[in-house]
Structure 1
Amino acid sequence: MQIVHAPHATVRLDWLARRVEPELAPELAIVDAHHHLWDRQTGRYLAEEFGADVGCGHRIVSTVYVQCRSMMRASGPNAMKPVGEVEFANGVAAMFASGAYGPARCCEAIVGGADFSLGAELDAVLESMLQVSGGRLRGIRNPLAWHDHPDVTSSPVTPPRDRMHDPAFRHGVRTLARFGLSLDAWVYHTQLDALYELAKASPDVIVVIDHFGGPLGVGPYAGNTGKRVEIVAHWRQGLARLASLPNTRMKLGGAGLTVFGFDFAARDLPPSSEALADAWRPYFDICIELFGVNRCMFESNFPVDKGMFSYGVLWNAFKRLASGLSADEKSALFSGTAASTYRLEISGDNA
């Protein structure tokens, strides 16, 4: 298979089935801090499909649904159309809360999408989202990942180039504090300085950095080891500034996005958890060094990353990455940080 730098690698279930591993540390409680659900031309991934992945053998106790423009309202004001996605995710949460899809409380926290540039209209949108969320709305995400090179793309939606610098947008982000909501931000490493300025200007808002902070490996960032070293140095410098702000958090994952530059989907066999852990070790080590375990959390980014590896192998890879840490440190990475960030209760049978 030839790699094409499309936003997502194609999910091939027959290919994924060629790599099956026993679950490592199956007793460890996991909060999947970032996943999506959708029904699109590219494929269906709803409660049944996600439930099958969550039931793979790892102990997934809770999950966080993140904005991806699913089930937007077909009518009404444009500003209110994203309310439909929150309503949809809350409905899926109710399905899992029934126990019919297993013990995991999927979509227990919801990160919706709202246009921060709305001005006075934003309050009404957020209030509507809170009303339909069943008390599960925890944050908001806007499309932010932008690059001028055609090979650097990770979403069908391209935001304005300087969105994070827009005064109206920044005012909207600060509005989140009044509603007790966080900001999820997916940006490339070339945008980390802009995200730093945004997070610094919004000290009362928790800013969650998605997908390792987006170190790119395609287009002008593809190349030899020397180029990779230069990119990692630039990425690390940007993350260090963000880590200096107490209101920032880091999600460890998302490296199945094609913009990271890994070629796992082009191989005859899906990658093993050892291969994934080896590939991601530099990202993991730097993020833990800069943010610490109490500000980092693991995420699946499924079904986006499912084109590169299976759900079970992914969590084995994360467990290999964390194998040298203490029990308390592992607990923070796999459930504690996500629970505190998104206000989830992980206790008793779910601890």
Structure 2
Amino acid sequence: MIDPQTVRFLDDLAIVDAHHHYWDLSGPVTYPWLQSPPWLAFRYGDYGAIRKSYLPEDYRRDHGAHRIVADIHMEAEPRHGMACAEIDWLASLGEVAPRAAAAQIWLDGDDLDDQLKELARRPLVRSVRHKPKALPREEARRGAAGSMDDPKWRDGYARLAATSLHFELQTPWWHLDAAADLARDFPETRIILNHCGLPAQRSDEDLAAWRAAIVRFADLENTVVKLSGIGLAPGIWPEEQNIHILRELITIFGPGRAMFASNFPVDRLCITFEAMFSAYKRAVHDLPREDVISLFSGCAASTYGLNIGEASLER
């Protein structure tokens, strides 16, 4: 049982949601995966319930009483060529716009220099994401076209070192050997691992292999992890297993390199926002308060260059 003083501390905790999405399906940006069939195979199963606009008022309704003091928008895979249009739409939201954003980029695109130039003109942008080619675990190998080993993809990644942009990596854990090589070879670029490295297989053997891959990746100091995206098909959120995964990651990376995030509205397919963040709080209730604050706000604020103010951290 959590003591009452800790409950009050957790209830009042300031949160920087390090990864969520907005999209307006009637707006200026198009999202093929949400708007036109054939529908993609999706890791949570049927995603028909989120194929509708998701706007700041929807997010506020979802997060409810949890005290969100800042938020980071993750690119929602707009149509190729619309990365800047997505950022400009976010900026047009005014007071309800996210505090920072990760923009879509195509590292192997012939127009990469133009992409970087345009994104650099937009102060909302702090990082970029391009999902590298991923293979099924049973087919996993190094060197596939479009992967982190692809020379053209890697040459594009090398250009990030001359910018202030971080790289958001979404890839299954069995490709983290390639990610570790990227982190080692390009130490100027911070890699933010999305969604815990996607530990979808949950046998003891699978989790041991996931952990070994995570340990190798986390050994590089320019790596950070987002504690998010750990639902399972067909839309479930197994709390006991997930808390084990979260605690493993916090131990491996340390609270200064790990940040909680919602991945809403995607993870709404598995769990409510209230239930998710309540579970996050239960997962770390026994840690020192300074570690809890770092996990819920400090690491994200530092990573994305946010000034959220000391007064907002506790009340």
TM-score by length of 1: 0.74
Shift of 1:245: 0.3
2: distance between equivalents of 1:28 and 1:210?
A: 23
2: distance between equivalents of 1:163 and 1:279?
A: 30
1:144 corresponds to which letter in structure 2?
Answer: P
2: distance between equivalents of 1:53 and 1:148?
A: 33
1: distance between equivalents of 2:129 and 2:309?
A: 28
Per the alignment, residue 154 of structure 2 pairs with 170
* 2:109 corresponds to which of 111, 118, 125: 118
Please, which moves more after superposition, 278-287 or 304-313? Answer: 278-287
Per the alignment, residue 267 of structure 1 pairs with none
Per the alignment, residue 81 of structure 1 pairs with 82
**SS of 2:10 mapped into structure 1:** coil
Shift of 1:127: 1.9
Shift of 1:91: 2.2
* 1:322 corresponds to which of 272, 276, 284: 284
2: distance between equivalents of 1:138 and 1:322?
A: 28
* 2:263 corresponds to which of 298, 301, 304: 301
Per the alignment, residue 129 of structure 2 pairs with 141
Per the alignment, residue 41 of structure 2 pairs with none
Per the alignment, residue 228 of structure 2 pairs with 253
Shift of 1:257: 5.1
Per the alignment, residue 215 of structure 2 pairs with 240
2:12 corresponds to which letter in structure 1?
Answer: E
Cα 1:197–1:69 change in 2 (3 A) is same
Per the alignment, residue 155 of structure 1 pairs with none
Root mean square deviation, CA, Å: 2.3
Dislocated runs of 4+, deviation >6 Å: none
Spell out the pairing of 1:262-277 with structure 2 (5 A cutoff): 264=236, 276=239
Answer yes or no: is 1:47 the counterpart of 2:62: no
2: distance between equivalents of 1:349 and 1:321?
A: 25
Shift of 1:89: 2.2
Shift of 1:128: 1.2
2:301 corresponds to which letter in structure 1?
Answer: A
Cα 1:161–1:312 change in 2 (3 A) is farther
Spell out the pairing of 1:78-227 with structure 2 (5 A cutoff): 80-92=81-93, 94-96=94-96, 106-118=97-109, 121-131=111-121, 133=122, 135-144=123-132, 146-148=134-136, 162-217=146-201
1: distance between equivalents of 2:9 and 2:309?
A: 22
Q: Percent identity, please.
A: 30
Shift of 1:23: 9.3
8 Å contact kept, 1:33–1:298? yes
1: distance between equivalents of 2:181 and 2:279?
A: 33
8 Å contact kept, 2:200–2:230? no
8 Å contact kept, 2:243–2:280? no
Shift of 1:86: 1.6
2: distance between equivalents of 1:145 and 1:257?
A: 21
* 1:36 corresponds to which of 4, 21, 27: 21
Superimposed CA distance per residue, residues 265-284 of structure 1 (whole angstroms, 9 cap, x where no aligned partner): xxxxxx7xxx62x2212211
**SS of 1:44 mapped into structure 2:** coil
Shift of 1:63: 0.5
2: distance between equivalents of 1:65 and 1:263?
A: 23
The count of aligned residue pairs is 278
Structure 2 portions without partners, runs of 5+:
1-6, 26-33, 36-50, 139-143
Cα 1:148–1:239 change in 2 (3 A) is closer
1:211 corresponds to which letter in structure 2?
Answer: H
Per the alignment, residue 66 of structure 1 pairs with 74
Shift of 1:163: 1.6
2:15 corresponds to which letter in structure 1?
Answer: I
Shift of 1:176: 1.7
**SS of 1:309 mapped into structure 2:** coil
Structure 1 portions without partners, runs of 5+:
1-21, 73-77, 97-105, 151-159, 223-227, 265-270
Shift of 1:197: 1.6
8 Å contact kept, 1:210–1:251? yes
Shift of 1:253: 1.1
2: distance between equivalents of 1:301 and 1:230?
A: 27
1: distance between equivalents of 2:163 and 2:133?
A: 25
2: distance between equivalents of 1:168 and 1:144?
A: 12
TM-score by length of 2: 0.82
Shift of 1:24: 7.9
Answer yes or no: is 1:229 the counterpart of 2:204: yes
